[in-house]
């Protein structure tokens, strides 16, 4: 049991170190994937389009860097900026969303990349604290498992 807990502890430790070392690559990868999701955005209910809509509605943002990122997409030429960017869903018409100048007043202007990364970075201290707490419990479990094993081994020799 102590060896199993030690193995799990080492896997979590290595994952944390790799995540910290490659955090900039993770950001770059996220940004490129968000750009790809915008390019492939469509009205059908695929996972990437739903994810983009959810991010934009939840964080009150639009596009990757700003709302004008949508102008370079095929979706914009057909339908304009998506409704998930609208500040007020009732006040957004399709004509407004097709005109970037009118849309600027009706949609969120901030990009999602900065908001997502800043939200993740602000929550990292909470994640680190929880991870540290779990690691402490694992270390206590490893120590107690070793003590129990030693106690059982010592008692077997005394019985003879």
Domain ranges in the chain? 11-122
pLDDT-derived band at 142, boundaries 50, 70, 90? very high
Q: What is the pTM of this model?
A: 0.68
Question: What digits encode the pLDDT tens for the residues 79-115?
Answer: 888 888 998 888 888 888 888 888 888 899 899 999 8
CA-CA distances (angstroms) from residue 124 to 20, 22, 55, 120, 149? 11, 15, 19, 6, 37
Confidence check: pLDDT of 54 > 70: yes
pLDDT-derived band at 72, boundaries 50, 70, 90? confident
Distance CA 17, CA 89 (A): 43
DSSP 17-34: HHHHHTHHHHHHHHHHHH
pLDDT-derived band at 124, boundaries 50, 70, 90? confident
Topology of the domain comprising 11-122:
Cd81 Antigen, Extracellular Domain; Chain: A (1.10.1450)
Angle (deg, nearest 10), helices 2-21 and 23-39: 70
Which of 122, 93, 91, 88 has the alpha carbon at shortest distance from 108? 88
């Amino acid at each position: 049991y102590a060896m199993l807990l030690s193995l799990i502890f080492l896997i979590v430790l290595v994952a944390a170190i790799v995540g910290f070392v490659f955090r900039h690559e993770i950001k770059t990868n996220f940004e490129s994937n968000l750009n790809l999701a915008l390019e492939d955005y469509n009205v059908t209910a695929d996972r990437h389009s739903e994810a983009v809509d959810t991010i934009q509605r939840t964080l009150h943002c639009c596009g990757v860097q700003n709302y004008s990122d949508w102008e370079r997409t095929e979706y914009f030429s057909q339908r304009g900026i998506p409704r998930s960017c609208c500040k007020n869903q009732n006040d957004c018409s399709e004509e407004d969303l097709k005109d970037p100048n009118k849309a600027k007043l009706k949609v969120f202007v901030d990009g999602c990349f900065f908001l997502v990364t800043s939200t993740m970075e602000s929550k990292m201290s909470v994640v680190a604290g929880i991870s540290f707490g779990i690691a402490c419990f694992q270390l206590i479990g490893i120590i107690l498992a070793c003590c129990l094993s030693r106690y059982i081994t010592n008692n077997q020799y005394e019985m003879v």
